[in-house]
Amino acid sequence: MNFEEISTRDARLIMLKGLAGEVDGALNETLLTAVLRTFGHNRSRDYVRTQIRKLEELGAVTVTEAGSVLIASITRAGLDHVERRSIIEGVDRPSPGV
């Protein structure tokens, strides 16, 4: 696995954790960009949108479009991954106790 793949898997986990921490389980792409930046992933809007769509393909989120903005909502599968009850390939596994 190369650095870009490792970084992308980590970014997806950070996004899912951010969503799991919200009362309604949802954040828009701008807020997810800020969450990623907090953890050292300084990425473009296009990158974040691509990762949201990939997480949707993996069944970890559902996506709603509000004008030109994507809103991601965590699914049961995404929450199960964050809480270590199941594994979603393509997303880093959370550390124990997190």
Is 48 part of a structural domain of the chain? yes
CATH number, domain of 22, equals: 1.10.10.10
Is 59 part of a structural domain of the chain? yes
Whole-model pTM over 0.85? yes
Q: In what order do the strands lie in the sheet with 26-28?
A: 26-28, 69-74, 61-66
Partners of residue 63 on adjacent β-strands? 72
Q: What is the pLDDT of residues 23-71, one digit of tens each?
A: 999 999 999 999 999 999 999 999 999 999 999 999 999 999 999 999 9
- Positive or negative CA dihedral for 38, 23, 56, 2? positive
70: left (phi over 0), alpha (psi -120 to 50) or beta: beta
Is 75 part of a structural domain of the chain? yes
Residue 26: helix, strand or coil by DSSP? strand
Is 95 part of a structural domain of the chain? no
Is 20 part of a structural domain of the chain? yes
Domain count across the chain: 1
At residue 15 the predicted structure's pLDDT band, cuts being 50, 70 and 90, is very high
Given a contact cutoff of 8 angstroms between Cβ atoms, the answer to whether 60 and 17 are in contact is no
Domain containing 66 equals 3-82
- Enter the tokens of residue 44: 């473009």
Is 22 part of a structural domain of the chain? yes
Instruction: Please determine, for residue 98, whether its predicted confidence score (pLDDT) is greater than 60.
Output: no
Is 89 part of a structural domain of the chain? no
Is 91 part of a structural domain of the chain? no
pLDDT > 70 in the chain, percent: 98
Instruction: Please determine, for residue 78, whether its predicted confidence score (pLDDT) is greater than 60.
Output: yes
